[in-house]
Amino acid sequence: MPFDFDQIVEHTGDDDCAACRAQDITAAFLMPAVSAWEISHNLPRFSLAMHGASGLLGVMLEEGVERSEIETALSQLLDDIERQIEEDKVLGGPPQGSA
Ligand SMILES: [Zn+2]
């Protein structure tokens, strides 16, 4: 399979880190837009977030990526996010958006 999850999920620790750049774009543009769309379309909170995320992951399934690999990578990302939330709590700062 010509696709490497580690390349997009794991941090490289430099300025070119794909994981950091993708997280930054998501937090700056995607999360506020999804929230605004939910409100403007009178949809329950998180409805677009869940369907959007699963729809995007569905594109990966369509392209032949194994579901188990997606689930493993997603679990790893959620672990990272939970760890970040806990760190932010310890530091006393407000969480950024929902991540
Ligand atoms: Zn990074």
Please report the pLDDT score of residue 12 as a whole number.
92
6 pLDDT tier (thresholds 50, 70, 90): confident
Q: Write the burial class of residue 20 (CB in 10 Å: 0-12 exposed, 13-18 middle, 19+ buried).
A: middle
Domain residue ranges of the chain, discontinuous segments joined by +: 5-91
> Which are the contacts of 76, defined by CB distance < 8 A and separation ≥ 6?
9
* pLDDT of res. 53: 94
Distance 19 CA to ligand 1 centre (A): 5
- pLDDT tens for 16-37 read 999 999 999 999 999 999 999 9
75 C-alpha vs ligand 1 centroid, how far in Å?
17
42-75 confidence digits (pLDDT tens): 999 999 999 999 999 999 999 999 999 999 999 9
Spell out a b/e string for 30-65, using b for 16 or more CB atoms within 10 Å of the CB, else e.
bbeebbeebeeeeeeeeebbeebeeeebeebeeeeb
What's the 13 CA to ligand 1 centre distance in angstroms? 5
